[in-house]
Structure 1
Amino acid sequence: MRLPSGVSGAIRTFSYFMSSGTHYMLEGVDYIDLYGSEPSAIELCYAIFANVLEYDEEGNVTNLKHAEKRATDSIRAYCDSSFSVVPAYEDWEIELH
């Protein structure tokens, strides 16, 4: 079974804005250099995005902004030690599969 097009589209769009350094939830955060120097930070961000993303029976993503927020908060916290993720991540959100 393939991913629904809505899910693959959400992943593709998220990837584009993350890798271009233009994700609006990370405005003012200098994170683009993490792609070459801190791959585990990027890996965790994508794991959170994938773990939190939900879709309905028709394949429509139902919580895109929430999944993006949870994922981008990990990058913000990584780059800014004064930033706290609220609520704290649950174990299932940060699990690497």
Structure 2
Amino acid sequence: MFSKKKKNTPQKLSNDFKSAMRHFVYYYTNGTLPFVIGDENILKGIDYREDLKEEASLVEQAFAIFTNTIKMDENGKVLNQIHAMKRAAQWIRFVCRSENDDYEVEPEFEDWETELY
């Protein structure tokens, strides 16, 4: 019996993912990210937009962490938008910390979370 070859059907990003990404970008760029992640202390007192405005690779890493950690079901419904935003916020806090700030990311980032594609 011959089996049919599966066609490589292009997949589109779900509308739910597009919405989650749009909201992350919105909260990041207008400075309200700390208020939507359920932990205002992560970025308290840090003007990350000013600190990172000339550090494109650090911003790129925050977006990579957001997209790498977000999870969706088989229909493309986002399951952990706040968690993905919080992990990105943890990165932002880590790279924007002052010399005397002993902030550590908990739990530490795993390699797959920080992978750039």
Same fold (TM over 0.5): yes
Structure 2 gap segments, 5+ residues each = 1-10, 38-42
Per-residue Cα deviation, 1:13-55 (whole angstroms, up to 9, x for no partner):
0001101112124343210124431111110000000000010
Indicate which of 14, 17, 41 corresponds to 1:7. 17
Q: Distance in 2 between matches of 1:56 and 1:14?
A: 19
The aligned counterpart of 2:29 is 19
Moved segments of 4+, more than 6 Å: none
Structure 1 gap segments, 5+ residues each = none
Identity of aligned residues (%): 40
Confirm whether residue 51 of structure 1 aligns to residue 73 of structure 2.
no
The aligned counterpart of 1:90 is 110
Size of the aligned set, in residue pairs, is 97
The aligned counterpart of 1:70 is 87
Q: Distance in 1 between matches of 2:44 and 2:12?
A: 33
Structure (1 or 2) with the larger CA radius of gyration: 2
TM-score by length of 1: 0.91
TM-score by length of 2: 0.77
Q: Which amino acid aligns with 2:23?
A: T
Q: Distance in 2 between matches of 1:48 and 1:11?
A: 12
Contact 1:34 1:41 in 2 (8 A): no
Q: How much has 1:82 moved relative to structure 2? A: 2.0
Q: Which amino acid aligns with 2:110?
A: E
Pairwise CA RMSD of aligned residues?
1.3
Indicate which of 48, 54, 79 corresponds to 1:37. 54
Larger mean CA deviation between 25-34 and 56-65 belongs to: 25-34
More helix by share: 1
